[in-house]
């Protein structure tokens, strides 16, 4: 790129001439002098959007970057919303942050802006997990909260998650109302940056204890743990916040043989031991797996930086370590918890579980087997939290989850929780070991009983402004020219969640999807294959979720069936991506 678009140049000039600090201006001038026009274009071509879940982006100077000014404007807009929504109350919020670079300083900026607006702030004294923020909002009877995290994104990213008084990420209509207030903040002169110290209270250990106490009430197999307390577990927080709470939680549950990956116990936003701090990626669990092989462990667990997602590895029927995907772990958790509730005679017909539309429909089959209702929501745990709040006085939430490694057992929070997930996964392993079996055997038993469901997620990255436009063009093409077949099977149903219509291709019959508007497409074939296409809400990519299934007659056929299903999914993804 040899020059700057005039509109982008105007935006840059507004920063150079505005009430921004000299360090920020010097950084911009240096980039101009070095003719870093592509970088400047990406940083200034738009404002960092306050979406339905908040903000997430690359850290740096610019209107489309994460910095104290973009976070300050977001907080001022959120403050204005809270003051309008609760006009006669002393508004209270909780703020927490994870290990991301600059998070501590940005958290103080957010606290200062809230406090300057007369809002009382509970600010965690150090980094804490996302689920603990959700818990603290409810425990301290607050009106909202903010979590500073970019979840599993690369180290260059940071983010801002906004929460309501129920400890749930903002949903309609509040999300849109907050977005409108943020958009009204035209420049930083409308932001109150000067904090009021008496409106900020530091919190920490006391909330940790209450949160850990709440986890103890969720345990389902105390006797199995007491007999199998030497279960060999390897755990890593991948430099993130779960290092604060998972080790003490496992200890409270009674596990005595937990090996920590010490190199990854340091809190570090550069994530020096991994390429990508995402427990979905095998590379991120390499050190934990190496440790497990070294000590002959039985279970490996690792969480993402803000501790709302957990990945696990177990030994398979060949005694080889395998990483379970989010659907497999979710199915194990739901099956284990529902079975435990059944054995304890706790199922009375009012219980329910929740998952997202891109999460394995094996879980629906498991729920049906136990006579428990299974709700499906749009992608995003906030929709699960929203439903929990809606049904709080009518039904009993048991557990929920999504394929992206986020689960919740119990109703102590309104977000996915890798802390409770870790202790329940460990408890599951102890329970099955106590029965002389294993987690992998339990998974095979689920497949034998309900069918072998296998899923794959493929993401196609499209970076920058041109990439965003290309993603929208791809989705437009899928709507106008949907596939007629996938891997040789006729497409029979097309669900367009943007139009909120599900259409039977053969009969032309339509029905409402009964979910909020979302830019998502689903294609269902005659052989019950399902493919979901959606743009990521947090990264510059388009996602393809592929789900196939078949009967599994016996354990010996597992490897062959796996190979067949994998080939089928590869074919489907190739067909879809080659057309676009």
Mind listing the pLDDT tens digit for each residue in 9-22?
A: 999 999 999 999 99
**Mean per-residue pLDDT for 314-329?**
97
| DSSP-derived pairing of the beta strands 299-303 and 258-260 | unpaired
So what's the pLDDT on residue 152? 85
Asked if residue 19 belongs to a domain, the reply is no
Edge to edge, the sheet with strand 396-402 lists 373-377, 351-356, 396-402, 406-409
Same domain, yes or no, for 476 and 437? Answer: no
CB neighbours (10 Å) of residue 503?
A: 17
Same domain, yes or no, for 360 and 225? Answer: yes
Same domain, yes or no, for 135 and 54? Answer: yes
So what's the pLDDT on residue 52? 72
Asked if residue 21 belongs to a domain, the reply is no
pLDDT at 467 exceeding the cut of 90: no
pLDDT at 153 exceeding the cut of 90: no
Name the burial class of residue 25, with classes exposed (0-12), middle (13-18) and buried (19+) by CB atoms within 10 angstroms of its CB.
middle
Same domain, yes or no, for 415 and 469? Answer: no
pLDDT at 34 exceeding the cut of 70: yes
Same domain, yes or no, for 540 and 433? Answer: no
Asked if residue 571 belongs to a domain, the reply is yes
pLDDT at 223 exceeding the cut of 70: yes
CATH of the domain at 235: 3.40.120.10
So what's the pLDDT on residue 579? 61
CATH of the domain at 545: 3.30.310
Where is pLDDT greater, at 282 or 462? Answer: 282
* CA–CA gap between residue 507 and residue 497 (Å, rounded): 19
> Residue 205 — pLDDT band, cuts 50, 70, 90?
very high
pLDDT at 62 exceeding the cut of 80: yes
pLDDT at 406 exceeding the cut of 70: yes
pLDDT at 580 exceeding the cut of 70: no
pLDDT at 540 exceeding the cut of 80: no
So what's the pLDDT on residue 538? 63
* CA–CA gap between residue 382 and residue 213 (Å, rounded): 24
Asked if residue 33 belongs to a domain, the reply is no
* CA–CA gap between residue 375 and residue 381 (Å, rounded): 13
pLDDT at 461 exceeding the cut of 90: no
pLDDT at 464 exceeding the cut of 80: no
Same domain, yes or no, for 224 and 319? Answer: yes
* CA–CA gap between residue 282 and residue 164 (Å, rounded): 34
So what's the pLDDT on residue 346? 95
Domain encompassing residue 340: 211-450
Report CA-CA distances (Å) from 203 to 67, 95, 104, 126, 127: 24, 10, 14, 9, 11
Same domain, yes or no, for 436 and 515? Answer: no
Question: Beta partners for 547?
Answer: 455, 530
Choose the catalytic residue: 79, 103, 151, 502: 151
So what's the pLDDT on residue 177? 94
What digits encode the pLDDT tens for the residues 372-388?
999 999 999 999 999 99
Asked if residue 23 belongs to a domain, the reply is no
So what's the pLDDT on residue 339? 98
Lowest mean pLDDT among 115-124, 420-429, 459-468: 459-468
Residue where a domain stops, chosen among 395, 415, 450: 450
So what's the pLDDT on residue 1? 61
> Residue 49 — pLDDT band, cuts 50, 70, 90?
confident
Q: How large a percentage of the chain has pLDDT more than 90?
A: 92
Q: How large a percentage of the chain has pLDDT more than 70?
A: 99
Structurally, how many domains does the chain consist of?
3
**Mean per-residue pLDDT for 497-522?**
95
Lowest mean pLDDT among 40-54, 58-72, 225-239, 557-571: 40-54
* CA–CA gap between residue 308 and residue 165 (Å, rounded): 19
**Mean per-residue pLDDT for 544-561?**
96
Asked if residue 2 belongs to a domain, the reply is no
Is residue 219 among the annotated active site residues? no
pLDDT at 573 exceeding the cut of 90: yes
Same domain, yes or no, for 296 and 443? Answer: yes
So what's the pLDDT on residue 53? 76
Where is pLDDT greater, at 50 or 232? Answer: 232
Residue where a domain stops, chosen among 203, 225, 254: 203
Asked if residue 401 belongs to a domain, the reply is yes
Same domain, yes or no, for 182 and 307? Answer: no
Same domain, yes or no, for 441 and 458? Answer: no
**Mean per-residue pLDDT for 102-119?**
98
Same domain, yes or no, for 286 and 359? Answer: yes
CB neighbours (10 Å) of residue 205?
A: 8
pTM score, whole prediction: 0.94
Residue where a domain stops, chosen among 421, 450, 479: 450
Asked if residue 56 belongs to a domain, the reply is yes
Same domain, yes or no, for 333 and 461? Answer: no
* CA–CA gap between residue 427 and residue 265 (Å, rounded): 22
């Amino acid at each position: 790129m040899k020059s700057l678009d005039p509109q982008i140049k105007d935006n840059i000039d507004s920063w150079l001439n505005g009430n921004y600090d000299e360090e920020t201006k010097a950084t911009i001038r240096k980039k101009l002098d070095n003719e870093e026009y592509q970088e400047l274009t990406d940083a200034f071509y738009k404002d960092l959007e306050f979406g339905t879940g908040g903000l997430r982006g690359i850290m740096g100077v610019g209107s489309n970057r994460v910095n104290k000014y973009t976070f300050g404007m977001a907080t001022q807009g959120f403050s204005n919303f809270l003051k309008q929504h609760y006009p006669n109350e002393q508004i209270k919020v909780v703020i927490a942050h994870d290990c991301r670079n600059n998070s501590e300083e940005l958290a103080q900026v957010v606290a200062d802006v809230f406090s300057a607006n007369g809002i009382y702030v509970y600010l965690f004294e150090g980094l804490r997990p996302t689920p603990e923020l959700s818990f603290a909002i409810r425990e301290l009877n607050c009106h909202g909260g903010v979590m500073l995290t970019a979840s599993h994104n690369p180290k260059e990213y940071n983010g801002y998650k906004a929460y309501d008084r129920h400890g749930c990420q903002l949903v309609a209509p509040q999300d849109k109302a907050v977005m409108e207030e943020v958009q009204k903040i035209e420049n930083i002169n409308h932001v109150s940056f000067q904090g009021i110290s008496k409106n900020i209270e530091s919190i920490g250990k006391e909330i940790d204890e209450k949160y850990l106490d709440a986890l103890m009430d969720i345990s389902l197999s105390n006797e199995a743990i007491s007999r199998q307390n030497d279960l060999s577990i390897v755990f890593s927080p991948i430099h993130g916040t779960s290092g604060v709470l998972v080790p003490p939680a496992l200890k409270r549950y009674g596990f005595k043989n937990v090996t920590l990956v010490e190199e990854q116990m340091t809190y570090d936003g550069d994530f020096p031991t991994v390429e990508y701090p995402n427990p979905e990626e095998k590379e991120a669990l390499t050190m934990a797996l190496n440790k497990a092989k070294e000590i002959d462990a039985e279970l490996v667990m690792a969480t993402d930086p803000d501790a709302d997602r957990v990945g696990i590895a177990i030994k398979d029927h060949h005694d080889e370590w395998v990483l379970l995907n989010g659907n497999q772990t979710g199915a194990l958790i739901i099956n284990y918890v529902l079975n435990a509730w059944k054995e304890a005679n706790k199922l009375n017909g009012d219980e329910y579980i929740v998952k997202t539309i891109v999460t394995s429909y094996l879980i629906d089959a498991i729920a049906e087997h136990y006579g428990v209702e299974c709700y499906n929501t749009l992608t995003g745990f906030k929709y699960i939290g929203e439903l929990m709040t809606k049904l709080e006085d009518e039904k009993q939430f048991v557990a929920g989850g999504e394929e992206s490694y986020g689960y919740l057992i119990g109703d102590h929070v309104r977000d996915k929780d890798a802390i409770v997930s870790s202790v329940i996964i460990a408890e599951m392993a102890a329970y099955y070991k106590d029965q002389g079996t294993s987690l992998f055997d339990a998974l095979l038993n689920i497949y034998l009983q309900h069918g072998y469901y296998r899923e794959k997620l493929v993401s196609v990255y499209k970076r920058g402004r041109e990439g965003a436009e290309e993603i929208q063009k791809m989705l437009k093409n899928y709507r106008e020219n949907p596939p007629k077949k996938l891997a040789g099977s006729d497409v029979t149903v097309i669900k367009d969640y943007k139009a909120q219509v599900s259409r039977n291709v053969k009969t032309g019959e339509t029905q409402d999807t009964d979910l909020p508007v979302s830019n998502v497409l689903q294609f269902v074939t005659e052989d019950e294959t399902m493919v979901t296409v959606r743009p990521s809400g947090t990264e510059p990519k388009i996602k393809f979720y592929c789900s196939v299934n078949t009967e599994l007659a016996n354990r010996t056929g597992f490897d062959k069936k796996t190979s067949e299903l994998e080939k089928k999914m590869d074919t489907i993804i190739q067909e879809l991506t080659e057309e676009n």
